[in-house]
Amino acid sequence: MASTRRIGAADSKTRAKLLDVAERLMIEEGYPAVTSRRLGREADLSNQLVHYYFRTMDDLFLEVFRRRAEEGFARFRKAMDANPSLRTVWAFSGGGPGAGFNIEFAAMANHRKAIRTEMARYAEQFRTMQLDAIAEVLADHPSLPDGLTPDVILVTMTGVAQTMALEEALGVTAGHDATLAFIDDLVDQLDAG
């Protein structure tokens, strides 16, 4: 179980460096590559310092995840303020450059309850933000086809984006271009009202 007590200062440059290196290793080599020994070596620090800042490796992984999630929330809010549209929601649906990061955490969540719990908490929070944004965008929409609710739109966008990201990570891309074109056209139609 992950500890809630942080030992090293939250605003320490050393702590930030450890988080940066852990994130890079996860993306480049997968979460099993992130050990206290490897992290210390890659950060040019002793592996004991890793445990000075993070009592357990789960604490480290949770902080890497939280940091990225909070940054994502802020980017989403800023993007929606600049362009409140389904196109903006689609851009944040789970594909793109952050997909590898999410895939690694999903794999880790299968084995670590603390990671799974935190991912679910943040996912629910983000889903609420996205649903609120979609409802606001569609508030003045004259009419939607039966059954096409904000929930259905969001789950469809997220499902397509995440499935395609997973397939791309495996090297499978058949049907992706046609699916993206379809979703792009649908998003344009819905945004146009």
Q: What is the pLDDT of residues 14-44, one digit of tens each?
A: 999 999 999 999 989 989 999 999 999 999 9
| Residue 182 to residue 103: CA distance in whole angstroms | 25
Decide if 57 contacts 34 (C-beta within 8 A).
yes
| Residue 92 to residue 127: CA distance in whole angstroms | 11
Find the mean pLDDT for residues 170-174. Answer: 93
pLDDT bracket for residue 9 (50, 70, 90) = low
pLDDT bracket for residue 146 (50, 70, 90) = confident
Domains and CATH numbers, the chain: 13-192 (1.10.357.10)
Print burial letters for 42-63: b (CB count within 10 Å at least 16), e (below 16). Answer: bbebeeebbbebbbebbbbbbb
Summary count for the chain: helices (H), strands (E): 9, 0
The pLDDT, as a whole number, for residue 144 is 80
